[in-house]
Amino acid sequence: MPSYTAPTKDTQFLLQEVLKVTEQDIPGYEDLDAEFTAAVLEEAGKLAGAVLAPTNVVGDKQGCTLENGVVRTPEGFKAAYDELRAGGWCALDADPEYGGQGMPALLNLATGEYFSSANMAFQMYFGLTHGAISAIAAHGSDAQKATYLPQMIEGSWSGTMNLTEPHCGTDLGLIRTKAEPQTDGSYKITGQKIWISAGEHDMTDNIVHLVLAKIPGGPDGIKGISLFIVPKFLVDEDGALGERNALSCGGLEEKMGIHGNATCVMNYDGATGYLIGEMHKGMRAMFTMMNEARLLVGMQGYAQASVAYQNALGFAQDRLQGRDVTGAKNPDGAADPIIVHPDVRRNLLDQKSFVEGARAFALWGAELIDRSHRGGDAEAEALISLLTPVIKGFLTDKGFDATVLAQQTLGGSGFTQEWGLEQFVRDARIAMIYEGTNGIQSLDLVGRKLGLNGGKTIMGFFDMIKSFLKENEGNAAIKSDFLDPLKAASKDLQAAAMYFMAEGMKNPNNALSGSYDFMHLFGHVCLGYMWARQAIAAQAALDAGASDRDFYEAKLATGRYYMKRQLPATALHLARIQSGAEPVMTLEAANF
């Protein structure tokens, strides 16, 4: 059975020493002093380890069941849910006007990681409600906000997102679910939605479905889509639960992982729905909350990698096999712990350097969201829009890979259910697919985000790296190990962007054929940047005579590993990108 201890020390280091939150000019950040963030992280970590983690294996084994339209979650889920709800963890960053704690998105992400590591299938129930809250808060009328937000924020009601239909997922312009206007201003919603996470379950009194549908007579395709609130139980004027709406769970999906989360077929049979935001502007409403939702999915990638790494590390420190080739490290034992072997260390360091780099990257992303939402900073808004597909795509791809590496650390035990590593692999796999597949993320990045503000945003990113390098060029302790490789990697990224600009004009497939590699190239540069920032902070702490030298030395060693052994991947991605459309497009579809 795997165990989980929240990495509060690392998060605290990132918040206080790397991001230096209290020095940031972002409303609300002035409260984030070290004592406060430490207390929040400790409390979340305790709940994650003691309350949630024990439900993870049972959730996987039991899964959810559907009987007579009722979905039951696994043993212990409801009790754990109530405990987290009571602590106000459901929507830490929600608006205090509706009962939220009003904390920055940064802390919601930081603590969300722990819950996700402890039980990803469970944390999704929160995550989806969070997305629905954001949509209603951003686009709902005052009456809608008053009706739905307090209960959703308090956690007694949950939320869902209904996009996919059997014949379309990515191409939402094809959806068929109909919304017929009624004389009272409401709509009758009819259609079938699939893969609805938390579509039906037994943990809350009501479920607020947000449903994409088409109002007859509207424009074709993506421009004719509207967004509706369709509650499981209608809500009376006094806020009490009224009659059951005409919607039901028609089936549960059997999946590779996240068995504790109910993935539902949802049937809407003339259900009562309420338009949210403008008619035919449903996609715009969806998009506004995507940055945050995709950031949270990116987080799931490294959250699974983090817990998998912890367990792989424990195994590597305990398991005795073979001897250190340079001399026994455990001469009194039958063999040395396998962590002495270079290839086991290589495996562990691939995991560790990813997890810590990814955590830093995502927290920086959350800071940008706060800077944009709380500070009204348009540049930060543009930058996080640019980075969002990278955070989602790169961190979930690499996060999954890291869980596979962790499984490998255990050898045969990694393949058994008993040790639990294989569950992390199966659970992590979905994050590469949902909230827009990673292929779609790469298209969003190259097709939409690179051209944002006429290319000013990506140029701004390059300028930021350049300024960072310049500001720190006098820091001899980190120059050759961190700044020089970051500079080289950033040049590869610029060369790739230049290639797209020059060749994508001639043939868009020259850009699209390299989109996935570009997303990974970009991800490496971001992790390289965050490792350089961590190295500067760690070196500063050491120079200042910090007592916990081991922690800071480990930071530097792990960062050096990333710069030496992971970052050089940028050259490979650039080579692939520069090979252009020809290798990808030549083969006729019929001859594959």
Instruction: Enumerate residues 209-248 that contact a copy of itself by CB under 8 A.
Output: none
How many angstroms separate the CA atoms of 66 and 251, rounded? 7
Q: Does 516 bind a copy of itself (CB under 8 A)?
A: yes
Extract the tokens encoding 532: 């350089």
Kindly tell me which of 183 and 586 has the beta carbon lying closer to a copy of itself: 586
Q: Does 484 bind a copy of itself (CB under 8 A)?
A: no
| 253 noted as active-site residue | no
Interface pick for a copy of itself out of 4, 148, 195, 522 (rule CB under 8 A)? 195
How many angstroms separate the CA atoms of 291 and 386, rounded? 9
Instruction: Enumerate residues 383-412 that contact a copy of itself by CB under 8 A.
Output: 400, 404, 407-408, 411-412
CB of 424 to a copy of itself, least distance (A): 11
CB of 106 to a copy of itself, least distance (A): 27
How many angstroms separate the CA atoms of 454 and 138, rounded? 26
Sequence-ordered list of residues with C-beta below 8 angstroms from that of 273, at least 6 positions apart, any chain: 179, 186, 187, 188, 189, 211, 213, 228, 229, 230
Interface pick for a copy of itself out of 144, 515, 534, 539 (rule CB under 8 A)? 515
Kindly tell me which of 276 and 563 has the beta carbon lying closer to a copy of itself: 563
Bridge-based pairing of strands 233-235 and 225-231 is unpaired
Q: Does 542 bind a copy of itself (CB under 8 A)?
A: no
Instruction: Enumerate residues 266-325 that contact a copy of itself by CB under 8 A.
Output: 313, 316-317, 320-322, 325
Backbone angles phi, psi at 252, to 5 degrees: -110, 140
CB of 54 to a copy of itself, least distance (A): 19
How many angstroms separate the CA atoms of 335 and 58, rounded? 35
Kindly tell me which of 128 and 383 has the beta carbon lying closer to a copy of itself: 128
Instruction: Enumerate residues 358-377 that contact a copy of itself by CB under 8 A.
Output: none
Give Cα separations from 493 to 317, 498, 520, 561 (angstroms): 38, 9, 10, 20
- The region of 36-44, 63-71, 160-168, 490-498 touching a copy of itself under the rule CB under 8 A is 160-168
Interface pick for a copy of itself out of 46, 178, 345, 479 (rule CB under 8 A)? 345
Whether 230 contacts 267, CB under 8 Å? no
Interface pick for a copy of itself out of 422, 444, 492, 503 (rule CB under 8 A)? 422
Q: Does 575 bind a copy of itself (CB under 8 A)?
A: yes
Q: Which helix (H) or strand (E) holds 31?
A: none
- The region of 41-49, 132-140, 338-346, 536-544 touching a copy of itself under the rule CB under 8 A is 338-346
Interface pick for a copy of itself out of 148, 434, 482, 499 (rule CB under 8 A)? 434
CB of 121 to a copy of itself, least distance (A): 13
Instruction: Enumerate residues 15-54 that contact a copy of itself by CB under 8 A.
Output: none
Place of tokens 């002495």: 340
Q: Does 334 bind a copy of itself (CB under 8 A)?
A: yes
- Beta bridge partners, 207, equal 158
Map residue 296 onto helix, strand or coil. Answer: helix
Q: Does 521 bind a copy of itself (CB under 8 A)?
A: no
Whether 127 contacts 109, CB under 8 Å? no
Catalytic residue of the set 435, 473, 503, 582: 435
Instruction: Enumerate residues 59-118 that contact a copy of itself by CB under 8 A.
Output: none
Extract the tokens encoding 242: 């009224």
Q: Does 554 bind a copy of itself (CB under 8 A)?
A: yes
Whether 145 contacts 137, CB under 8 Å? yes
Sequence-ordered list of residues with C-beta below 8 angstroms from that of 442, at least 6 positions apart, any chain: 389, 393, 515, 516, 518, 519
Whether 570 contacts 493, CB under 8 Å? yes
Work out the burial of residue 8: count CB atoms within 10 Å of its CB; fewer than 13 is exposed, 13-18 middle, 19 or more buried. buried
Count of residues of this chain found to bind a copy of itself when the rule CB under 8 A is applied: 97
Q: Does 342 bind a copy of itself (CB under 8 A)?
A: yes
Q: Does 448 bind a copy of itself (CB under 8 A)?
A: no
Bridge-based pairing of strands 263-276 and 225-231 is antiparallel
One-letter amino acid at 575 equals A
Interface pick for a copy of itself out of 151, 261, 513, 534 (rule CB under 8 A)? 513
Whether 110 contacts 41, CB under 8 Å? yes
Q: Does 581 bind a copy of itself (CB under 8 A)?
A: yes
CB of 140 to a copy of itself, least distance (A): 28
- The region of 99-107, 252-260, 359-367, 454-462 touching a copy of itself under the rule CB under 8 A is 252-260
Extract the tokens encoding 482: 């961190």
Helix ranges (H only) for 48-193 are: 56-62, 77-86, 105-118, 120-139, 142-154
Extract the tokens encoding 234: 């209608």
Interface pick for a copy of itself out of 344, 369, 483, 486 (rule CB under 8 A)? 344
How many angstroms separate the CA atoms of 416 and 428, rounded? 17
DSSP per-residue letters across 525-577: HHHHHHHHHHHHHHHHHHHTT-S-HHHHHHHHHHHHHIIIIITTHHHHHHHHH
Kindly tell me which of 370 and 492 has the beta carbon lying closer to a copy of itself: 492
Kindly tell me which of 367 and 517 has the beta carbon lying closer to a copy of itself: 517
Kindly tell me which of 369 and 430 has the beta carbon lying closer to a copy of itself: 430
Q: Does 164 bind a copy of itself (CB under 8 A)?
A: yes
Kindly tell me which of 495 and 569 has the beta carbon lying closer to a copy of itself: 569
DSSP 245: P
Q: Does 576 bind a copy of itself (CB under 8 A)?
A: yes
CB of 246 to a copy of itself, least distance (A): 25
Kindly tell me which of 14 and 581 has the beta carbon lying closer to a copy of itself: 581
Q: Does 337 bind a copy of itself (CB under 8 A)?
A: yes
CB of 196 to a copy of itself, least distance (A): 11
Instruction: Enumerate residues 165-184 that contact a copy of itself by CB under 8 A.
Output: 167-171, 174
Angle at 234 between CA 233 and CA 236, to 5 degrees: 130
- The region of 108-116, 242-250, 386-394, 574-582 touching a copy of itself under the rule CB under 8 A is 574-582
Q: Which helix (H) or strand (E) holds 244?
A: strand 241-244
Q: Which helix (H) or strand (E) holds 276?
A: strand 263-276
CB of 361 to a copy of itself, least distance (A): 20
Kindly tell me which of 183 and 591 has the beta carbon lying closer to a copy of itself: 591
One-letter amino acid at 3 equals S
Extract the tokens encoding 125: 């129930």
Q: Which residues are catalytic?
A: 435
